[in-house]
Amino acid sequence: MLRIEGLNQYYGGSHTLRNVSFEAPMGAVTTVLGRNGMGKTTLLKCLMGLLPVESGRIEFEGRDITHLKPHQRARMGIALVPQGREIFARLSVDDNLRIAMAATGQTDRSVLESSYETFPILKQFARRRGGDLSGGQQQQLAIARALVTKPRLLILDEPTEGIQPNIIQYIEAVIAKLAADRTMAILLVEQYYDFARTLADRYVVLQRGEVLRTGEGQHMDQDGVRGLLSV
Ligand SMILES: Nc1ncnc2c1ncn2[C@@H]1O[C@H](COP(=O)(O)OP(=O)(O)O)[C@@H](O)[C@H]1O
Ligand SMILES: [Mg+2]
């Protein structure tokens, strides 16, 4: 599904991603873990085409996408739920979703309805401005905005950050259900160990831009992954 090979990225002189390689298979949750500043968001921006890479290769469904533009990747079925959510604050919930559909050429109206079924609070607040939602509601909107594009690769950057526990549980259940449907690959970046461990089929630990360890989700405890995340 997604294959990353020998990715290198620099911010000016600082070498931020170092030879990063791993795969995120279809129908599975691959979690990328690492402390603050380890390069997780940078990696996701490279995957989405928001940052150029210096070298290496990104393959999606067998196609080399390393140099494609973000909108081309979005139309191919890659959706990013960015850190900080980045919803359109002045647009209604409904318009936030419709813009994402329009931008990716999605004409299947049923995806809008099914996203509202997944997140009933969004249906209730469909006419409310995005900026007037709580943080947890905005996170649900950001996920719904990705889902209405019918992604085959869903990328989430710290979806639990700054969200209250009951909404975290809800988001966990939604991701678990998406994974169980086996219609997409899910790449989940997290610092919240328990959330990631519950969902992960595979894990990747990033440290200073390098892949430090990889393994199976069910081995995260015995592999000592929690300890790699504590400061
Ligand atoms: N736009 C930028 N310009 C220069 N350095 C950056 C920029 N964005 C992030 N960095 C640096 O790159 C490193 C990785 O950042 P980031 O990918 O955001 O890490 P993470 O998401 O794991 O917290 C950090 O040292 C950060 O300070
Ligand atoms: Mg980050």
For ligand 1, what atom is nearest to the CA of residue 44? 17
At which residue do the structure tokens 């979005």 appear? Answer: 74
Over 80: is that where the pLDDT of 120 sits? yes
Among the bound ligands, the one closest to the CA of 38: 1
Mean residue pLDDT across the chain = 96
The pick from 8, 9, 11 for probing ligand 1's pocket by mutation, whose C-beta has the most ligand atoms within 8 angstroms, reads 11
For the chain, the structural domain boundaries read 2-77+151-229, 87-150
DSSP secondary structure of 124-193? HTTTSBGGGS-HHHHHHHHHHHHHTT--SEEEEE-TTTT--HHHHHHHHHHHHHHHHHTSSEEEEEES-H
Q: For residue range 26-50, what is the model confidence (pLDDT) as tens digits?
A: 999 999 999 999 999 999 999 999 9
Mean pLDDT (whole number) for 193-217: 97
When the candidates are 3.40.50.300, 3.40.50.150, 3.30.70.3270, 3.40.50.1820, the CATH number that belongs to 2-77+151-229 is 3.40.50.300
Q: For residue range 56-90, what is the model confidence (pLDDT) as tens digits?
A: 999 999 999 999 999 999 999 999 999 999 999 99
Q: Is the CB of 107 under 6 A from ligand 1?
A: no
CA angle 69, 71, 74 (to 5 degrees): 115
Among protein residues, the one whose CA lies closest to atom 3 of ligand 1:
11
Q: Is the CB of 16 under 6 A from ligand 1?
A: yes
Q: For residue range 105-114, what is the model confidence (pLDDT) as tens digits?
A: 999 989 999 9
